[in-house]
């Protein structure tokens, strides 16, 4: 069973290795994907749901991430995306400052400047290459996860950050 690693784990601070053609067939990809799904489903913190996770977050320095939205109803969730050896091949000139949190930095929330639109090239779990565009929150998530694969945490990019408890209180007030 895969668990999230601590913020100081070396896999979170190194450039991840590409998944090799052999790893698509020898069970490595399947094993990492299973670990990502286990870890994302087990994550529960009041007021926050997991949306995506990268292999370094479970201690595996391989270029792979999973978007599997755990929030809201199934109709409101993002589609599941498995991205292996992903590359952002195009970004919009337009950027915006957006709120961000991270499973690997559970005590902080902050704001990061991200491109509003991106184009991603990656492989699926079967090794089939695909290209996908994304805007808004999905573009933000893709950039965040690709950062993990390059050893960058959101706090390395954050223009400002604060304790997650402050963010939870703010969200509770907004719901009242």
Q: Which residues are catalytic?
A: 145
Q: Do 115 and 68 form a contact (C-beta atoms < 8 A)?
A: no
The partner residues of 162 in beta bridges, in order of sequence, read 109
Contacts of 19 (CB under 8 A, 6+ apart): 28, 29, 62, 63, 64, 84, 85, 123
- Three-state DSSP at 129 gives strand
- Three-state DSSP at 7 gives coil
**Per-residue DSSP letters for 53-114?**
EEGGGGT--BSEEEE---SS-TTTSPPPEEEEEEEEEEE-S-EEEEEEE-TTSTTEEEEEEE
Judged on CB neighbours under 10 Å (0-12, 13-18, 19+), 145 is buried
Q: Do 158 and 100 form a contact (C-beta atoms < 8 A)?
A: yes
């Amino acid at each position: 069973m895969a668990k999230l690693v601590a913020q100081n784990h070396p896999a979170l601070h190194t450039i991840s290795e590409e998944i090799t053609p052999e790893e698509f067939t020898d069970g490595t990809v399947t094993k990492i994907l299973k670990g990502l799904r286990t870890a994302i489903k087990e994550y529960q913190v009041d007021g926050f749901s997991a949306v995506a996770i990268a292999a370094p977050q479970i201690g595996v320095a391989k270029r792979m991430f999973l978007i599997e939205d755990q929030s809201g109803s199934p109709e409101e969730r993002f589609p599941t995306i498995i991205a292996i050896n992903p590359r952002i091949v195009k970004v919009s000139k337009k950027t915006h400052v957006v709120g961000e949190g991270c499973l690997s930095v559970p005590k902080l929330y902050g704001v990061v400047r991200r491109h509003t639109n991106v184009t991603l090239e990656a492989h699926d779990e079967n090794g089939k290459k695909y290209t996908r565009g994304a805007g808004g929150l999905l573009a933000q998530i893709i950039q965040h996860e690709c950062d993990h694969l390059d050893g960058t945490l959101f706090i390395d990019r954050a223009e400002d950050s604060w304790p997650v408890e402050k963010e939870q209180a703010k969200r509770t007030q907004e719901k009242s």
